[in-house]
Amino acid sequence: MGQTRITSLHNPRIKSVVKLRKRRERDRQDLMLIEGFRELTRALDAGIDVREVFICPHHVSSEDEKQAIAALELGEARRFEVNSKVYAKLAYREASSCLVAVARKRTHELESMPAVGNPFYLVVDAVEKPGNLGAMLRSADAAGAAGLIVTDPGTDIYNPNVIRASLGTIFTVPLAVADAESAIRWLKGQSIGIFAATPEGGVPYTDVDLSSPCAIVVGREDLGLGGRWLEAADEGILIPMKGKADSLNVSAAAAVLLYEALRQRT
């Protein structure tokens, strides 16, 4: 499709996109914002329904990137060229990329998780910080997890910071959103062992068998896991802490545990 140039900060299309920074508006329109070339490429590869793409040539860093953007297969999505002032209004993080896209959100049901012979999952319970959720998606992707399950989310999974922090792996990792009770029933129904990360009453994570079907569960940044997961767990596991700090950032802890599961399986 052709490309339209927008130079006014008061253009109705620009105002409409800016509104999508707010979760309430994203939920109302069932839309999300995708910022960044890698992120958009992964969304397109995953079959995400992209509606509009706003490109700022001033922020294109190289001729190769320019050619790659021009070659994007956008289907029915409309292209808009914007100047630096308009792009600064659109971008979630200043000068962080050269494009912003508007796309249709997907639903994420437990039942849609793909069947895997010997899966391991990461379960993220009530985590509130978008950057942490995005980082855990990257780790789950890198470690080859069968999927990531978000329970009782404290943040919108389509917060633009989740998408950016995940580097677009939110579109590559099988993802489900559910309440904790539903997730526990689903995991037990699939005969998947539940290992709850907790500094209290747990055994060192290297001493448990993560080579069989399992789910590693991590909790919110300040309070850790709730009682429902601790009660449902087959084992509580901990990461030994040798220094003064008594806990790791939840995304760092998740990465350690995911890679232990990968180590045991390889």
For 151-163, write each residue's pLDDT tens digit. Answer: 999 999 999 999 9
For 82-111, write each residue's pLDDT tens digit. Answer: 999 999 999 987 656 899 999 999 999 999
The predicted model gives 245-260 an average pLDDT of 93
User: What is the predicted pLDDT for the residue at 115?
Assistant: 82
Cα distance between residue 155 and residue 168, in whole Å: 17
Going from N- to C-terminal start, the domains of the chain cover 3-104, 110-265
> What does R_g of the chain's alpha carbons equal in angstroms?
20
User: What is the predicted pLDDT for the residue at 75?
Assistant: 87
Cα distance between residue 61 and residue 65, in whole Å: 7
Determine which helix (DSSP H) or strand (DSSP E) holds 235, and give its type and residue range.
strand 235-238
Residue 61 has pLDDT above 80, yes or no: no
User: What is the predicted pLDDT for the residue at 65?
Assistant: 80
The arrangement of secondary structure in 110-265, i.e. its CATH architecture, is 3-Layer(aba) Sandwich (3.40)
CATH fold of the domain at 3-104: 60s Ribosomal Protein L30; Chain: A; (3.30.1330)
User: What is the predicted pLDDT for the residue at 221?
Assistant: 74
User: What is the predicted pLDDT for the residue at 96?
Assistant: 65
3-state helix, strand, coil in the chain (%, to 5): 40, 20, 40
User: What is the predicted pLDDT for the residue at 120?
Assistant: 97
User: What is the predicted pLDDT for the residue at 84?
Assistant: 92
